[in-house]
Structure 1
Amino acid sequence: MVARAHQVAGTLLAGTALAGSLLAGCSSPVGVSAAPHAADPLCAEVVLALPRELAGMSRLTTSSQATVAWGDRNAPVVLRCGVEPPPPTTDPCVTADDGVVAVDWLAVEGEVGPDGSGDWTFTTYGRDPAVEVLVPAAVAATRSTSFLIDIGPAVARVEQTRSCL
């Protein structure tokens, strides 16, 4: 009877270990390349202040410093802090303003696919280091990008030196 109990316990432990390793495989990080200035201390402040959930999308683990992702692992919204600040440009510039915090973003749509939508890249304007948010077409087609307002307080930790006109 004791031998049988040890066998059952061993089987349970092996099953628990297997389940743990399967779950660990499900939580592999989203591959995101670090921005050139990801080591800037302000990026750490930005990342630590970002919400755990964004517009109903859960936060995902990423593979690089100063990056965050939310949503579907196959088409996540990705934020990278430490990208090169954009120079003056004719790209559309929008302000995400909740009445307390305002952040200017350059909004650039990528190549439009057969469904009529494309990926969007939003890059902070007038902040150094700059923050970039990549929104896949699948997300842009089903959600408003007003979630930029929700990350505004974190991004505003980087001082604004220029603004949209």
Structure 2
Amino acid sequence: MSRPRSPRLAAVALLPVGLLGIAGCSQAVAMTPASGSNDPACAEVMVRLPATLDGQDRRWTDAQATAAWGAPATVLMTCGLDAPGPSDLPCDTAGGVDWLIDDTDAPNYRVTTFGRTPAVQVYLNADEVSSRTVLDALGVAVQQLPEDGHSCSERPTS
């Protein structure tokens, strides 16, 4: 005579299959964490990131202290980089944060916080999103990073 099966046991056994089905519906954006991604200041930034940036929905990533928006991803963010030193790159303030702007691969821009430790770096496609809108929106979260005393206004102008 066979023993009756517990409904609870059957539900637990099916749980991994159900989770696999849900996880298969959306792929995480593959990213590489920065060396300082475990800095507690990055955690303060990550919990304040917006759900959308310039109409692009936030997506899951596979690396600590990283974020992505858009499908395909049009904005990628990494926290935990070493603060940049002196630079000839243009510097601008958006969202209450100073950013170094590298547009050598336009319309893809690389912007890095200036005067914050650890640093945040953002890659964005300016054909898909407004860089000003994105940086203004991220500023609320990135302002959580400690300032290191440097600012765009201190930099010599050419």
Alignment TM-score > 0.5, same fold: yes
Corresponding position of 1:89? 87
Asked if the contact 2:33–2:64 (Cα under 8 Å) also holds between the matched residues in 1, the reply is yes
Corresponding position of 2:38: 39
> Where does residue 55 of structure 1 map in the other structure?
54
Using the TM superposition, give the Cα deviation of residue 119 of structure 1 relative to its aligned residue in structure 2, in angstroms: 1.3
1:116-131 equivalences in 2 (<5 Å): 117-131=106-120
**Deviation for aligned residue 1:22:** 5.4
Once the two structures are superposed, residues 35-62 of structure 1 have per-residue CA deviations (whole angstroms, 9 ceiling, x without a partner) of 1100000000000011111111101000
Unmatched 5+ stretches in structure 1: 1-16, 112-116
Tell me the amino acid that sits aligned with residue 106 of structure 1.
L
Distance 1:130 1:155 in 2: 9
Which of 124, 136, 143 matches 2:129? 143
Shift of 1:94: 0.8
SS in 2 for 1:46: helix
**How big is the shift at 1:134?**
0.7
Identity of aligned residues (%): 40
Mark the CA change 1:164 to 1:59 in structure 2 (over 3 Å): closer, same or farther. Answer: same
- For the residue of structure 2 that corresponds to 1:26, the secondary structure is coil
Letter in 1 for 2:117: D
Unaligned runs of 5+ in 2: 1-16, 154-158
- Cα drift, residue 25 of structure 1: 2.1
| Alignment TM-score, normalising by the size of structure 2 | 0.79
